[in-house]
A = this chain, B = another copy of it.
Amino acid sequence: MAKETKEGITVSKEKDFSEWYTQVVTKSDLADYSPVSGCMIFKPYAYAIWEKIVATVDKKIKKMGVQNAYFPLLIPEKLLNKEKEHVEGFSPEVAWVTHTGKSKLEERLAIRPTSETIMYEAYARWIRSWRDLPLRLNQFNSVIRWEFKNPVLFLRTREFLWNEGHTAFATKKEAEKECTDILNTYYDVLKDLLALHSVKGKKTEKEKFAGAEYTISTELFMPHGRAIQGPDAHHDGQNFAKAFGIEFLDEKEKKQHVWQNTWAISTRVIGILIAAHGDDKGLVLPPNIAPNQIVIVPIIFKKEGEKVLKKAKELVKQLKEHNVILDDRDYSPGWKYNEWELKGVPLRIEIGPNDLKKKQVIIVRRDTGKKEIVKENKVKEVVHKLLEDMQKNLYKQSEKIFTSKKTKAATMSALQKVIKQKKFAEVHWCGETTCEETIKDKTEGAKILNIPFEQPKKVSNCVCCKKQGKHQVIVAKSY
């Protein structure tokens, strides 16, 4: 038997989240650092997760009538400068191409931080009449935003993968309906695929997307007390339409500007997935997103080895819809258990000579660690049930993190205390940016995440200025 060793996770999630996170990501073979600071390598295991997210989003948005396309990676500087707020938001982080081969370019080219400007230049040429609307295009690609904060694999990187939808409608009403539909779609992807609880709401003026009329977002809550923004959707009103001259003749032959949206889900959600579900043994993957739902570990002794292996192979066939791994490498069973736990495979099936005799297998769940002896003829049925249970259980746990750490705060000192305790504060707010900024200052950086769509009937006074509040909001430290 091979004597290779592989170190497991050496710190606890609760005691040192940041070290725990890095160990899980790198040791479970999801990702690696690259020689370009802040840019990461998505290894096959993480990329397989991303492919599942892409396939799911792709199917959903195509069903809604969105089409995929591909626009150039490089954007001329003058195009990027067309929408004032947009360029102010993005230019501090733009990577600039200035030379090609040995020649200096006449005009600098930005690597897309997002593609509004390169797409809307074309929209302005393509859209002529109401018949050309809606125009709903999406791209799956990568973008570069040269952040200067400390990078964190998946969660804060200078390059990330995403989808970016950019749509144009004849009316504000249609555009706003799409914006909501898309956010609901993303919410469902978080819930059903990634087993992640999130809170939908509207971003504050201060936190909205650069160039948007407003932004709606999903906000997620991590066990170590930080919030992370999930996928979002922006209603751009006619801001870009006016900056780029995207006009159409309506049915009455009247010239109008289009109404637009922008929306995205990124590989950041993989980081959220890891942070939310992982435990001290490593990754825990919800069955619906796991590249492999089951690993079968045959316990092979010389004598009975062949028979056990034969049975294991039968099981692989029987369970093939679950993308089963058969681990028949010459490592010890214990070593294998550790490895697959580290990688977060939802179910492990153990089968040895004794089980063979008793016509049974042992099934172990990754989330609870619970072992179950299952009769051979019941395996399919039990596997199905366990996977369903585990998906539900992980969602419930994710929800529980939020509900158990959410604490009301009516005064600034109460708010400060909640944030210090690494909890999420539910506060009332007057809606003024000055109070929003004061909250941030007095809590050492906690932010209003969004204004949840679900609001109480009555809102009390603002936690900051004590005037009548307008919204109930959640304040937390976030990535």
Contact = CB atoms under 8 A, between A and B. Distances in A.
B44 A137 contact: yes
Interface in A63-85: 67-76, 79
A146 B41 contact: no
A43 interface: yes
Contact of A95 (B40, B74, B131): B74
Greatest chain B CB density within 10 A among A39, A41, A72, A93 is at A72
Interface stretch (A29-37, A254-262, A423-431, A440-448): A29-37
A142 interface: yes
A337 interface: no
B68 A44 contact: yes
Contacts of A125: 32
Contacts of A95: 74, 97, 99-100, 109
B69 A109 contact: no
B101 A94 contact: yes
B71 A41 contact: yes
Contacts of A71: 34, 41-42
Contact of A111 (B69, B111, B131): B111
A44 B66 CA distance: 10
A122 interface: yes
Give how many copies assemble into the complex: 2
A355 interface: no
Nearest to A44: B67
Contacts of A328: none
Nearest to A137: B44
B41 A72 contact: yes
Interface residues of A, number: 56
Interface string A110-128: 0100000010011001100
Contacts of A151: none
B144 A74 contact: yes
B94 A100 contact: yes
B118 A76 contact: no
Contacts of A74: 36, 39, 95, 144, 159
A42 B67 CA distance: 12
A69 B41 contact: yes
A39 B111 CA distance: 13
A14 interface: no
Interface string A1-31: 0101000000000000000000000000000
Contact of A72 (B94, B100, B159): B159
A92 interface: yes
Contacts of A70: 41-42, 47, 50, 142, 161
Interface of A: 2, 4, 32, 34-36, 39-44, 47-48, 50-51, 67-76, 79, 91-102, 108-109, 111, 118, 121-122, 125-126, 131, 137, 141-142, 144, 146, 148, 159, 161
- Nearest 5 pairs of A and B residues by beta carbon: A44-B67, A100-B146, A39-B72, A42-B70, A96-B99
